[in-house]
């Protein structure tokens, strides 16, 4: 039997937590403050938690005025309510190539944490100075899952992929200009990596990389058993 509420402009999917493990996450970009307020209110009263991504400061202020208890981060454009059950094994490593990738890295980190993961970060380790990266081999090889975030040519993902036994989730960013093609270049590079054990999400999709990493962590904590 299906379980959702129809707000006219939106059908809030209360069944999603039961079905997929986590409540609906709200894509804030093209929703109005009015729409966001109503959806967040419904999700928080049903699940005690939700995550809104790509939400501007203005809209977040509106929503928090209406639904208390939110925590907003402007750099990553995320608004979180509540938290999920902690996943107490290992850690997800979030590595990024340059300072310019920080907003995406933060979106990933905030998502992982809200979903229950332990997170470590390694920022600005692009391959132009490979020794900065290799100096952290232990941190990298100690991770259960690695999220690699890179713009320009995205080569960091391949190098990390060649160093680890664990899954790598690659997130291309739109950092660059000209033939970077707003992130298409690192995306294509990551899809063609000569390192095995890497899969890829949409450009600038720190959220998506984190979500996939957390599902992997959760399966691991559950010992590989189906849910």
Ligand X SMILES: Nc1ncnc2c1ncn2[C@@H]1O[C@H](COP(=O)(O)O)[C@@H](O)[C@H]1O
| Contacts (CB under 5 A) with Mg ion, residues 117-136 | 124
Of 71, 87, 114, 116, the one binding a second copy by CB under 8 A: 87
Total residues at the site for ligand X (CB under 6 A)? 15
| Sequence-separated (6 or more) residues with CB below 8 Å from residue 34 | none
Binding mask 28-67 for a second copy (x = CB under 8 A): -xxx---x---x--------------x-------------
Of the ranges 96-104, 105-113, 149-157, 211-219, which one interacts with Mg ion (CB under 5 A)? 96-104
Residues 74-113 interacting with ligand X (rule: CB under 6 A): 98-100
Shortest Å, Cβ 223 to ligand X = 26
Is 205 one of the binding residues for a second copy (CB under 8 A)?
yes
Q: Tell me which of 37, 54, 113, 218 binds ligand X, using CB under 6 A.
A: 54
The distance of closest approach from Cβ of residue 65 to ligand X in the complex, given in angstroms and rounded to an integer, is 20
Residues 151-210 that bind ligand X (CB under 6 A): 194, 196, 205, 207-208
CB 78, CB 40: distance < 8 Å: no
211 sits near a second copy (criterion: CB under 8 A)? yes
State the residues that interact with Mg ion by CB under 5 A.
Answer: 98, 124
């Amino acid at each position: 039997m299906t379980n959702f509420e129809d707000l006219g402009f939106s059908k809030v999917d209360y069944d999603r937590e039961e079905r997929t493990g986590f409540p609906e996450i709200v894509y804030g970009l093209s929703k109005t403050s009015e729409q966001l307020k109503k959806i967040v209110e419904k999700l928080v009263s049903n699940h005690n938690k939700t995550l809104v991504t790509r939400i501007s400061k203005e809209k977040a202020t509106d929503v928090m005025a209406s639904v208390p208890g939110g925590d907003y981060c402007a750099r990553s454009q995320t608004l979180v309510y509540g938290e999920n059950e902690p996943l107490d094994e290992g850690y997800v490593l979030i590595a990024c190539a340059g300072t310019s990738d920080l907003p995406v890295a933060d979106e990933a980190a905030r998502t992982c944490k809200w979903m229950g993961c332990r997170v470590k970060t390694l920022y600005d380790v692009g391959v132009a100075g490979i020794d900065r990266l290799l100096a952290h081999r232990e941190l990298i090889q100690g991770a259960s899952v690695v999220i690699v975030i890179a713009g320009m040519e995205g080569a960091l993902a391949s190098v990390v992929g060649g160093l680890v036994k664990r899954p790598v989730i690659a997130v291309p960013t739109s950092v660059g200009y000209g033939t970077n093609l707003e992130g298409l270049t690192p995306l294509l590079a990551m899809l063609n990596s000569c390192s095995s054990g890497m899969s890829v999400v949409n450009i600038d999709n720190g959220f998506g990389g984190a979500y996939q990493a957390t599902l992997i962590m959760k399966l691991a904590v559950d010992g590989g058993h189906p849910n």
